Amino acid sequence: MRNTTSRERGNSILEFAIVASLFLVPMLAGSYELGMCLVKMLEVGQVARDANILVVRGIDLSQSDNQSLVVKTAQGLGMNLSGTNTPDPNGLGVVILTTVHKVSGNDCVAQGQQADNTCPNYEQYVITRRITFGNSAKLTSVTGNPSDTLASNGTLTQAQWVMDTGDRAQGFPGLVTLVDGTDAYVAEDAFDISSTQVFAAPRLSILYSRHIS
């Protein structure tokens, strides 16, 4: 009887070990991965919000020193060059900042046009500024890309965004409705979090966030 009982206990331990390896370990690993993903989502959202706040306050984020303010908030997301707060063009994240303007009649008149539909972008939503830092390969902006060449500080001239229909913003006025002659500020970011992946199975590896003000 004792030998039988010992064998049964041994079998129970073995069965538990098998069940644990097949079910409990993957469940724990999955919980860890889900938790890490949620934490990263919060961090990614915070980076976009902080970047937009700086833009609204008039901080010029085309300047590398000011970009470091945003990179600091992205600590742990792999956006910076090692040991610095400098954006890494080959890193794991990117921030895209866009100023969207609704063209007014006064804008058209300033460019020698009539304040009506004969002006190419009259009452259209256009991109007047675009700043990108980090690894630009990680994201294509949902607001589109201006067809004109940006200045070193990311701006387009009034002549460009009034006259060139290729500078129109996508997704407006669906996202935000503006009064003629006013601006909206869009901050987008995307980060590759595949390094937190536990399982080999494919899953969402890029987290995206957008903040508009």
Token reading at 35: 């938790």
59-114 residue pLDDT tens: 999 999 999 999 999 988 999 999 899 999 999 999 999 999 999 999 999 999 99
| pLDDT at position 174 | 85
Sequence-ordered list of residues with C-beta below 8 angstroms from that of 34, at least 6 positions apart, any chain? none
> Can you tell me the distance from the alpha carbon of 33 to that of 141, in angstroms, rounded to the nearest whole number?
27
> Backbone phi, then psi, for 3, in 5-degree steps?
-65, -40
> Backbone phi, then psi, for 107, in 5-degree steps?
-60, -40
pLDDT confidence band for 203 (50 / 70 / 90):
low
Helix (H, G, I), strand (E, B) or coil at 80: strand
| pLDDT at position 193 | 86
Place of tokens 């409990």: 24
**Domain count within the chain:** 1
Query: In terms of DSSP H, where are the helices of the chain?
Result: 2-19, 25-56, 64-73, 105-110, 158-163
Q: What is the value of pTM for the model shown?
A: 0.84
Give me the domain span that covers residue 9.
2-212
Token reading at 80: 């910076």
How far does CA 50 lie from the centroid of its chain? 12
Report the 10 Å Cβ neighbour count for 64: 12
| pLDDT at position 199 | 57
27-55 residue pLDDT tens: 665 565 666 677 788 899 999 999 999 99
